[in-house]
């Protein structure tokens, strides 16, 4: 052996022991599984609501050791709302599961953040590229209980107080519905008329809760949107406001999305 060869031999790293290599892979896998299992759940409210509409979902998620936060969006335009969601995501670390109610389906669909693992749509509107929220909302005739809305002088749509309960949350207690009507936030006409970009649900796994007794978004529309995106669908006899009136159902779907994310990450690493 020449001196040069001997020197190279001295500098060459020792071959990794097979058992040590397997232990390292298992350690990396466990770290990734733990990260996905502890994904931050970011919940985005729809029209005529705010972050408090997720209160009955956030509390049980937190009790299960999950991190959860509600992203406040201005409901002024789709672009504004996506930007607001991105600002909320800056407050998080690691994997994220996005959850949307109603109009917010368009918002999470337009989110391009690479840390997002899964999307959960709760009776949500999910326009495809070039479509608007209004396009998909009016695909099927709304319920007779849904009021015909007209913008005010500022271009904002408000839900009439005397129709709020019957249209938006018929399963809520009367005092609860009255409170929701009192704290409602309007949505700008501009938000439902802006064309959507290429949606994230074309590349990311999605879940969809179809609200069979929804009086705001036709259940047939919801089922069409869920099937179009290839989502894992669950259908239940709940109203439009299921995060408030059926929170355990919503929590279950979120947990399913997180569990699937962990399983998917494990499978990828084992076969990578």
pLDDT given at position 38: 82
Least confident of 28-37, 187-196, 215-224: 28-37
Give dist(CA 47, CA 43) in Å, integer.
Answer: 13
Specify the 3-state DSSP secondary structure of 34. Answer: helix
Q: What is the pTM of this model?
A: 0.85
pLDDT given at position 19: 53
Specify the 3-state DSSP secondary structure of 265. Answer: helix
Choose among 258, 234, 39, 259: nearest CA to 122: 234
pLDDT given at position 32: 38
Residue with structure tokens 């409602």? 184
pLDDT, tens digit (0-9, with 9 covering 90-100), for 67-120: 999 999 999 999 999 999 999 999 999 999 999 999 999 999 999 999 999 999
pLDDT given at position 261: 80
pLDDT, tens digit (0-9, with 9 covering 90-100), for 12-31: 334 445 554 544 434 343 33
pLDDT given at position 141: 87
Give dist(CA 74, CA 114) in Å, integer.
Answer: 23
Q: Which long-range contacts (CB under 8 A, 24 or more apart) does 156-160 make?
A: 156/186, 156/187, 156/188, 156/189, 157/47, 157/186, 157/187, 157/188, 157/189, 158/48, 158/184, 158/186, 159/48, 159/184
Give dist(CA 158, CA 252) in Å, integer.
Answer: 31
User: Are residues 136 and 225 in contact, defined by beta-carbon separation less than 8 angstroms?
Assistant: yes
Domains contained in the chain, CATH given: 37-271 (3.40.50.1820)
pLDDT confidence of 207, banded at 50, 70, 90?
Answer: very high
Choose among 72, 53, 68: nearest CA to 245: 53
Query: Tokens in use for 215?
Result: 């009086």
Contacts of 257 (CB under 8 A, 6+ apart): 97, 117, 118, 119, 120, 205, 207
pLDDT, tens digit (0-9, with 9 covering 90-100), for 32-82: 344 456 899 999 999 999 999 999 999 999 999 999 999 999 999 999 999
Give dist(CA 255, CA 259) in Å, integer.
Answer: 6
Give dist(CA 235, CA 127) in Å, integer.
Answer: 20
Given 3-state DSSP classes, what are the helix, strand and coil percentages for the chain, each rounded to the nearest 5? 45, 15, 40
Q: Which neighbouring-strand residues pair with 210?
A: 235
Query: Tokens in use for 191?
Result: 């938000």
Percent of the chain with pLDDT over 90: 80
pLDDT, tens digit (0-9, with 9 covering 90-100), for 225-241: 999 999 999 999 999 99
pLDDT, tens digit (0-9, with 9 covering 90-100), for 139-187: 998 888 999 999 999 999 999 999 999 999 999 999 999 999 999 999 9
């Amino acid at each position: 052996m020449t001196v040069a060869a001997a020197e190279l031999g001295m500098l060459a790293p020792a071959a990794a022991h097979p058992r040590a290599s397997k232990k390292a892979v298992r350690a990396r896998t466990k770290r990734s599984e733990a990260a996905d299992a502890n994904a931050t759940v970011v919940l985005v409210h729809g029209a005529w609501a705010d972050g408090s509409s997720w209160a009955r979902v956030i509390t049980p998620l937190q009790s299960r050791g999950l991190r959860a936060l509600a992203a406040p969006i201005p409901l002024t335009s789709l672009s504004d709302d996506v930007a607001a969601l991105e600002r909320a995501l800056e407050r998080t670390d690691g994997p994220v599961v996005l959850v949307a109610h109603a109009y917010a389906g368009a918002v999470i669909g337009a989110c391009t953040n690479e840390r997002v693992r899964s999307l959960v749509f709760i009776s949500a509107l999910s326009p495809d590229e070039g479509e608007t929220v209004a396009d998909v909302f009016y695909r099927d005739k709304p319920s007779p209980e849904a009021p015909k809305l007209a913008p005010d002088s500022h271009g904002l749509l408000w839900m009439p107080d005397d129709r709020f309960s019957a249209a938006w949350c018929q399963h809520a207690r009367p005092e609860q519905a009255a409170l929701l009507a009192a704290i409602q936030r309007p949505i700008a006409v501009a938000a439902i008329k802006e064309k959507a970009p290429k949606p994230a649900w074309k590349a990311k796994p999605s879940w969809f809760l179809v609200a069979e007794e929804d009086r705001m978004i036709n259940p047939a529309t919801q089922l069409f949107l869920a099937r179009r995106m290839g989502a894992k669908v669950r259908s239940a006899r709940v109203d439009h406001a299921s995060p408030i009136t059926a929170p355990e159902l919503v929590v279950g779907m979120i947990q399913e999305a997180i569990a699937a994310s962990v399983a998917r990450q494990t499978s990828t690493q084992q076969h990578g």
